[in-house]
Amino acid sequence: MILDPTVAPRVSRPTHVEIDLDQLTANYRAVEAAVAPARMLPVVKAGAYGHGLVEVARLFESCGPAGLAVAFLEEGAVLREAGIVCPILVMGGLDTSQIPDFLHFNLAMTVSSIQAVGPIEEAAGRLGTVARVHAKVDTGMGRMGVRPEGATELLDALLRSRHAELEAVYSHFATADEPDPAQTLDQIATYRGVVSYFGERDLPTPTLHLANSGAVLQHPDSYFHLVRPGLMLYGVYPTDAIPRTVGIRPALTWRSRVVLSKRQPAGSPVSYGATWTPDHDTRIVVVPMGYGDGFPRLLSNRAEVLIRGRRHPVVGRVCMDQFMVEAGPETDVRVGDDVVIIGTQGEETITANEVAAWARTIPYEVLTGITSRVPRRYRGGAEQHDLGGKTPPE
């Protein structure tokens, strides 16, 4: 048989993530019911937290949100080119050279300083359009946003603008996912003080949004008009330290397969640096994924995976493209067996939070760190499908 070099073969990598679209919908509806009458502004930045930007955005758009939130102009442009028509807020810092692109793609921009108002007015006026703007206030995060003492000047300038429409005023929490509520309550109070601007001047109040996932779970007084859940929509709680007041379940399973099983004699080290050496004869299996796929090197000699419904330790240093697991001296593990990195197998479950603890990080980093060479496969929703080794643009 002669292969046509112009046609890419359809391949199916053993290492992949599976996304349950029905579970994503269930998580969305659970959060939506919990925050009503506030509306939803789902966050789909960073490839929808590793779940696939375009596929997840399409799903959430079908749920009827107030809009979608991304981090960068480029993410918003990908969604527009994929046919997403609902409002999209770009939450990242505004590079004023990109303002014409914001206007072209009809994306709402975040404004954090009065210095941005002039360039917005100029670009929108030149193009004969109106820029959609969300003013951001730094109520305690110390990152993006105008300081509270400068908020009045910024709001005055935006309301005077002929070519900018102030759609919303928002802020972001620093500690809403922590048990101590002190700073969060202080941020809520600061935010209320800033947005009192409109009532004091007898002006219509624009859309107000403040709550992230942590605040959705434990600060209902922060809901206002919209909430911006991110991680919890994907079925992962930000931390185990706060109440789980909304029932959600993970939508992502990360899996691979055993590609090699071999006897490892006592005293024979495994992997780079010889950081692990068995003190007994045992059996080692190789899994074809590594830090090049987003499985952190910090998991070396720390993580566990599921094979045949049992936990097995990762041994030796994680390599770029593979890692090793001790299956044990008397094992029934075989080449071709399913390996679960995050997810459930039998009665055992490994969560993103558990992997994060082993890697000394947070579940956000674990999920968004799954790289683009790991295929995303989708089930549920309108139909089951996969991307054949490709992932949605991130």
Active-site pick, 45, 191, 223, 378: 45
Tell me the CA distances in angstroms from 229 to 5, 31, 68, 234, one per residue in order.
45, 8, 10, 9
Q: Identify the DSSP state of 8.
A: P
Active-site pick, 170, 237, 272, 378: 272
Q: Which amino acid is at 179?
A: P
Give the rounded distance of the alpha carbon of 309 from its chain centre. Answer: 28
Neighbours of 157 (CB within 10 A): 20
Angle 296-298-302 from CA coordinates, rounded to 5°: 110
Q: Give the list of residues 6+ apart from residue 189 with CB closer than 8 angstroms, or none.
A: none
d(CA 47, CA 26): 20
Q: Give the list of residues 6+ apart from residue 328 with CB closer than 8 angstroms, or none.
A: 282, 283, 312
d(CA 155, CA 171): 14
d(CA 386, CA 29): 24
The answer to whether residue 170 is catalytic is no
The answer to whether residue 136 is catalytic is no
Contact 172, 190 (CB under 8 A): no
What 3-state DSSP class applies to 65? coil
Q: Give the list of residues 6+ apart from residue 225 with CB closer than 8 angstroms, or none.
A: 38, 39, 168, 207, 208, 209
Sign of CA dihedral 154, 156, 159, 163: negative
Angle 284-290-293 from CA coordinates, rounded to 5°: 150
The catalytic residue positions are 45, 272
